[in-house]
A and B are shown apart, each in its own frame.
Chain A
Amino acid sequence: MEKKRPIKVLVAKPGLDGHDRGAKVVALGLRDEGMEVIYSGLRQTPEKIVQTAIQEDVDVIGLSCLSGAHNRLFPEITSRLKEKKMENVMVIAGGHIPEKDIAFLRENGISAVFGHGTPVKSIAEYIRQNIAFNL
């Protein structure tokens, strides 16, 4: 089934990390791909990110973190989503994520981790395919 409205994505920066180039590039790139994108700005708490996701009724949350706090922050977001019965929201992530942490993040509800150099087009492709699969 095709979605009638554009896919809605929240690109969010949890924690204190201020490296927002990747987040902004992905946000602008996904917009070029025809998605509706909200960018959270810096220093968002997991609570605030989930709240925004609910308010804006997004299909996807894209998290970006380069400070090394991802193992703490990302699972907190997915578990809050679970509490709110929002597991259907796809959560993807990027940033400075070492290879060894990816399995842990996937176990904790992060659908995919996109590393340095990932084309925005392939992130868009991933979202489209997996969203369609979810519906």
Chain B
Amino acid sequence: MSDSGKIKEKRKLWEEKVLDPALKRFRLDKSPSGFYTPADIEGFDFIRKVGFPGEYPFTAGIYPTLPYAVVGTKGSLPSAKGLVRAARYSGYGTPEDTRDYYKMMQSQGLRGGPNLAMDLPTQCGYDSDNPMVRGEVGKVGVSIDTLRDFEVIYESYTGSLDLDKIASNFTINAPSNMIIAFYAALAEKRGIPMDKLRATPQNDILKEFVARGTYIFPPRHSMRMFRDSAVFFARHMPNVNITSIGGYHIREAGATRNQDLAFSMAIGAAYLEEGVRAGLDIDSFAPKFTFNAFGGSMELFKEVALQRAARRMWARILKERFNARDPRSMLIRQPMGAHIGCSSTTLQRPLNNLTRGVIGGIASALSGSPPMAFPPYDEPLGLGWSLEASQLSEDAGRIIQYEARLTDVVDPLAGSYYIEHLTDQIEEEAWKELEKIENMGGAVAAIENGYMQRKVAMSAHERQKRIESGEELVVGVNCFTDESELEVLTGRLIPHPYDEAKREQAEEQQIASLTGLKRSRDNRLVADLLRELKLKAGKEEENLIPIFIECAKAYVSEQEMCDVLREVFGEYKEEAAF
């Protein structure tokens, strides 16, 4: 008899003789806890399923070693001291406000380029002076209308922090190519060739139709914009990442773990197809794909398994479906691994979110990523984290790494019967869902027909029902809430570096700047360029990025460019999800 057969036989005996009497004693119908054995991963082939870190199928990790873990052993600590990293996703108010914020953070030690948060009008292709966007200017990020605004923000990045020495991140999707055009135009004005620019635009438009909602054009026209970026960056901006794919947003919008993985893979595959169809060799552009993050939850083991499954699945898609040969094409490069997801945080007894974040940081380390205890505990309290919360979040990661030493081993859960079983199971279910989407015609079709949107809304609804029925427990929300529990309050004592008064005035100021600019620029040139843009937009094969750069240099605004495309491409109207 095989080992597995023996184990199964022994398990049956154990269940009868040991487990069942215990259940009877505790008056339980079914065991609340599981136990896994080699029989749960029958035929487990280490080389094929896990392999060595940095080697196909990359289950254990995309690099042979954990690069960020080195500092702990060399005796030197990371150069980003104190709360400098709190500057990561940042930007608010007018470009002047954001420039001043970066200058202040630099005086405290900030190095490296900005990770720019842009306001919703910018993300949705509207200028600040559009009456439709009243109340939104400068709120969730900085307002960008024209090249002028980039010129102002980047006044804080000169000399040793000039554009050829830093990397910029832009959370921008539908108008991503216009924002990149602003960046290229700014570099040109500074005499920096665009092949020296390093940047990552989010440029993941398909997920915007499923979550987050900052779409402008219909999916197929959006894919043309994506094609333009893939082709243009591959040829002219080799150090600019093409996309940062985010399953995270889809999960936060309500998707299950399997939907998150399957939808992200389907979306990633659709982008790869687009590049290949445009004539690019897969290995010439796939290495420039990055991932933002997959979504998270409090279920630590499942989140670790998800990360392993995702690495294996993406590698297989690249190798088997797209015939990639370069291992760099097959990597999920992402800034964070397993985490809890912001939607796991609660407004009730918010300090508990620190505990939750720490569990996420542990999951992150175990999944082969820097131990980020994300998000800071005050995430649900309002826009922007306090410095206290950021400090604790930062420290949690440090404690996990330097004191608990969780980053000493790559993929430490590899070989666990339970984790390998979970990894297989998550991957298998995601392949099934991916196949379903591919049979529909791929991610674009599954968005056009509203499939993904409906699935996500239904999953969110199902989860809410489980929470309300008490089937799923959230401490301080649907359990442990009676008056014997203590309400633990937190304060924000250290003022946040964002100036709230400035944020309030931003709209008026930004409209004044834009109005002045629209008066002083060469409006005849603007009109000529917009006519040319319209002509080129009408030709499917035309790459629009060069004309966007010309427009940028003439201070054509983002909305002016988008409006021309709205005329040619049309606008996306949301499918009724239910």
Contacts and interface: CB of A to CB of B under 8 A. Distances in A.
B121 A21 contact: no
A46 to B, nearest CB: 9
Contacts of B253: 19-21
A29 interface: yes
Nearest to A38: B576
A29 B124 contact: no
B382 A39 contact: no
A119 to B, nearest CB: 5
A78 to B, nearest CB: 14
Interface residues of B, number: 43
Contacts of A115: 347
Nearest to A72: B135
Contact of B574 (A32, A42, A116): A42
A39 B136 contact: no
Contacts of B478: 119
B129 to A, nearest CB: 15
Interface in B440-470: 457-458, 460-461, 464-465, 467-468
B134 interface: yes
A24 interface: yes
B133 interface: yes
Q: Is the interface of A mostly helix, strand, loop or mixed?
A: loop
A23 B135 CA distance: 20
Given A24-B577, A42-B574, A117 B347 contact: yes
B576 A116 contact: no
A18 interface: yes
Nearest to B132: A45
Given A29-B461, A69-B135, A69-B139, A21 B252 contact: yes
Interface in B322-344: 343
B47 interface: no
Given A15-B136, A117-B474, A68 B577 contact: no
B497 interface: no
A116 B574 CA distance: 25
A51 interface: no
Contacts of A16: 120-121, 123-124, 126, 133, 136, 214
Contacts of A73: 135
B477 A67 contact: no
A68 B468 CA distance: 27
B120 A120 contact: no
B212 interface: yes
A28 B252 contact: no
Contact of A15 (B123, B135, B383): B135
B346 A24 contact: no
B21 interface: no
B35 interface: no
A34 interface: no
Given A17-B120, A21-B252, A117 B134 contact: no
Interface in A73-96: 73, 96
B232 to A, nearest CB: 27
B468 A67 contact: no
Q: How large is the interface on A (under 10, 10 to 19, 20 to 34, 35 or more residues)?
A: 20 to 34
Nearest to A18: B213
B195 interface: no
Given A67-B139, A116-B347, A15 B464 contact: no
Contacts of B461: 24-25, 28-29
A62 to B, nearest CB: 15
Contacts of B140: 67-68
Contacts of A42: 213, 574
A28 B460 CA distance: 10
A119 B468 contact: yes
Nearest to B138: A68
Contact of A69 (B136, B465, B577): B136
Contacts of B212: 18-19
Contact of A68 (B133, B213, B380, B383): B383
Interface in A24-76: 24-25, 27-29, 32, 39, 41-43, 45, 67-69, 71-73
A39 to B, nearest CB: 7
Contact of A120 (B208, B347, B468): B468
A105 to B, nearest CB: 13
A25 B457 CA distance: 7
Contacts of B214: 16, 18
Nearest to B126: A16
Given A19-B253, A27-B578, 16 more contacts: A15-B120, A16-B121, A18-B213, A18-B214, A19-B212, A21-B343, A21-B457, A24-B254, A24-B461, A25-B254, A41-B576, A42-B213, A42-B574, A43-B213, A73-B135, A121-B468
6 contacts: A20-B213, A21-B252, A27-B578, A42-B213, A68-B383, A98-B382
Interface of A: 15-21, 24-25, 27-29, 32, 39, 41-43, 45, 67-69, 71-73, 96, 98-99, 115-117, 119-121
Interface of B: 120-121, 123-124, 126, 132-136, 139-140, 208, 211-214, 252-254, 343, 346-348, 380-383, 457-458, 460-461, 464-465, 467-468, 474, 477-478, 574, 576-578
Going nearest first, the 7 A-B pairs with the smallest beta carbon separation are A18-B213, A72-B135, A16-B120, A69-B135, A98-B382, A116-B347, A28-B461
